[in-house]
Structure 1
Amino acid sequence: MAKASIPRFSSRLHQKLGLGTWQLGGPNIVQGKAMGWGEISEEESMSILAGALESGIQFIDTADSYGKGLSEKIVGKALQAASYPQDIIVCTKFGNVYLPDGTTGQDFSPEHLFASVKASLQRLQREHIDVLLMHSPPDNFNWAHYDRAPFEDLISQGLIRQFGVSSKSVYGAKRVMDAGFGSVIEVIYNALDRRVDEILSSHPHHAAYDIIGRVPLGSGFLSDRLLTEDPHFGEDDYRSHMADRDKNWMLEHARKLAFLADLPGGFSANALRFTFQNPIISVVIPGARSVAQVQSNVVAANLPPLSDEHIHRIEQFVPSVPDWWKPAK
């Protein structure tokens, strides 16, 4: 397994709260389909990043495909404006590509790896990338025949410090752990999808990994607003293309957790609070489309742990994910 030349990022963090920046890439329309979260101004994006950094958030997650590099550029600009950008841990991803015919594909070859790192460093205006992840390779990716030497080479050159995988699903993450690839895994974890607990927590290799919890607010379904309103997503928001059965299941089960709204901080803050308690999660990366959302996330990070009774109620009201989210037997 790869050994980073500096301590793992989890030992450098003061808190588990990070910031996801997919939303800062804007609508990102590909062949008429939204691949982002809708319009957001550069001014608002810069304010969000400034608010996060000023609040003490140290971990910023981005990717070269978020807005076709736009998110990385804005992160780079914000870090240059910050007082101590060297204290910030930046995680980015590579592998998703835009093809000449306008479609998308994936390329995890050494050639694309080196070109992607060079381009990301330029956009981020940094001399190194703290964490480089393969971006959503197939869950059945053939790790036995994938050469990790190019990643080790990038570490030896000082261009990256850790590498790993942002997994499509927890089942793909388990295969990464099985193969012992890298030292970082990014995986979905929230109150509606707790498969990390049953699939990764008991894995013999889990202690060797920094684990990033993504989608901690269930793609926005764990929000105070949706407790009383039905969701309406614009055409430039990727959630407008979600299958109805997924949206309906998430909305129904999020509302079963409405008791969290009665706790200090409100519903979203306590749903996020839940994710911080998992001992194998190193950092949690909620997105934010406003400074107010950043502030709400900071409130959640400073709340004490949920009680055992509240954890039990979450498990009771949402015992599992839908069967169609699980692999076919």
Structure 2
Amino acid sequence: MTLPLIAITMGDATGVGPEIIMKSLAHAELYERCRPLVIGDAKRLERAGRIVGSDLVVRSLFAVEDAKFEPGTVDCIDLGLIPDDLPFGKLSPVAGDAAYQYLRVATELAVAGKVAAICTAPLNKEALQAGGHHYPGHTEMLAALTGTEEVSMMLTAPNLRVIHVTTHIGLMDAIRKIEPGLVERTIARGHEVLVKAGLSRRKIGVCAINPHAGENGLFGQGEEAEKIVPAIEACRAKGWDVEGPLPADTLFFRAGRGDFDMVVAMYHDQGHGPVKVLGLESGVNITVGLPVIRTSVDHGTAFDIAGKGIADERSLLEALRQAIALAPADA
């Protein structure tokens, strides 16, 4: 069986991405499960390797076909965009543009079928904007690069999966955007993930918007009945096991103890908070609804520790494991 080829984008070169990549690829057992290929800058990886005390050899490549995928060696499609003297830990438009270019190349390879999945190291949203790319983050860029109209963000942590109806918009904008069709499509994308994961039980809990799920109209302006209940009823009509809308505080507690296989969060912080409390180091971000597979670390560029060699690679390792699990067989 051919091991899946996973493209790892370097993210923001001034953040911890290069360091956690070099630390992750030092785990030789990873090469027993996939063929890792970095899309980034070889010299930056070499510098990161010196910082973390790695003895890995970085190979600068121009094509996927030149990669050898050997333990002890980091194969890198080298775009050569980062100046040698660019400091770690400081916002840079150059690094922001480079992060976009790494993702663009990885997406082109995935769409062409040359890689089975994309796993992304973190980028900095402000640097991305300063570099001329006006997207809120990876998720929206991937949607644009693949011509996908609508995608969902899913976060995973030990014993918890959370898919989001809305993500990188303000809370008032999120409430306005939520409507039954969007909620139903989000639940459907989440249900498809559970099916692909091979789960025999696929129980989905849906968060309310208001405290205590609105207390039958006592809190809010009837958002649950107007925006969420019709979607849940439509999903139940398909035979799916969907419960809600439920108060988020008790729903996440119940999900953590195993009552649900997935939670549907209405907005960014409603879903992100519980996942990061349960395990920032092992959290993974998965973009659902794309024609390509994409997983990511569930943390940022960590400018405060970038370049110090102390960044934790566990989230990237878990993101790689998820990418391997989702990748098509023999890809």
Give the alignment's TM-score, normalised by structure 2: 0.29
Greater percentage in strand: 2
Structure with greater Cα Rg = 2
Higher relative contact order (CA 8 A, sep 6+): 2
Give the alignment's TM-score, normalised by structure 1: 0.29
